[in-house]
Chains A and B, each alone.
Chain A
Amino acid sequence: AQTVTQSQPEMSVQEAETVTLSCTYDTSESDYYLFWYKQPPSRQMILVIRQEAYKQQNATENRFSVNFQKAAKSFSLKISDSQLGDAAMYFCAYRRRSGGGADGLTFGKGTHLIIQP
C-alpha cells in the first residue's frame, strides 16, 4: 500500500520569507501523480500544485514550487514571499494511475503552517 509522510506537524515562518514543507512517499508504481492541497481553517480544501511522476521538470504556480526527487520519493513544497493568507493546513497527496483512471488520493497527515506578521 502507498503511504505519504509529512514529518513536520507544524511550521512557522515570518511574512515575506520562504518556507519549505517536506513530504516523502512510498510506492512501487511508476505512473502516479503528486499533489499539495491547502485547507484553510473552516474552509474547503483547494489544490495548490500538482506534479506528474513522468515529468522531470518541477511544477511551479506563482509563489509555489515543488522539488520533486523521484528516486528519493520526495516531494517538497516551497512557498516564497509568504503571505498571511497562506496560513493553513497543507496536505501532500499521492494518486496512483491505474488503467483508464486512477485510485483515490492517499494523503499525508498534514503540516500546519503559521505565518508570523
Chain B
Amino acid sequence: KAGVTQTPRYLIKTRGQQVTLSCSPISGHRSVSWYQQTPGQGLQFLFEYFSETQRNKGNFPGRFSGRQFSNSRSEMNVSTLELGDSALYLCASSLDASGTGELFFGEGSRLTVL
C-alpha cells in the first residue's frame, strides 16, 4: 500500500511569488492535514480537510490556503511568499477525522524562499 505522497519534494521560490504543494493520501484515507515545520517555530498545524471540507484551521494568515478534491487528494497554496515561509511542509492522512486514528505523514515538501 503506497504511503502519503507529496510533490514537489524540493522547490525554490522568490519573495512575492506563490506556490502550490500537492498531497496524495493513503488509499482509503479521507482526512488530510497540513503542518509547517521550521527550526524556530517547530511543527505548527495549518489546516485539516475531510470530505472536501475544511474542518480545522491553525493560526496562519490568509495567504495560506488549501483545498481537498473528491478523490481526497489535497493541495495547499501560499501566496505572496515571504522569507519566513521557508519551511518543510508536511502532509498527513488518516482514515477519518475523529482524532483517534494514527496520522500517516509524507516526507514533506521543502520550500526555500529567496
The chain A residues found within 8 Å of chain B, CB to CB, are 33, 37, 43-47, 50, 52, 91, 95-97, 100-110
Majority SS at the chain B contact face: strand
Residues of A contacting B48 in the complex (Cβ-Cβ under 8 angstroms)? 104
> CB of B85 within 8 A of chain A?
no
Contact of A45 with B90 in the complex, beta carbons under 8 Å = yes
Contact of A33 with B99 in the complex, beta carbons under 8 Å = yes
> CB of B97 within 8 A of chain A?
yes
**Bound complex: CA A97 to CA B55 (Å):** 13
A108 — nearest CB in chain B belongs to which residue? B42
B107 — nearest CB in chain A belongs to which residue? A44
Residues of B contacting A43 in the complex (Cβ-Cβ under 8 angstroms)? 107
**Bound complex: CA A109 to CA B90 (Å):** 16
Q: Can you list 7 A-B pairs, Cβ within 8 angstroms, ordered by A?
A: A33-B99, A91-B43, A96-B99, A101-B99, A104-B35, A110-B42, A110-B43
Contact of A107 with B98 in the complex, beta carbons under 8 Å = no
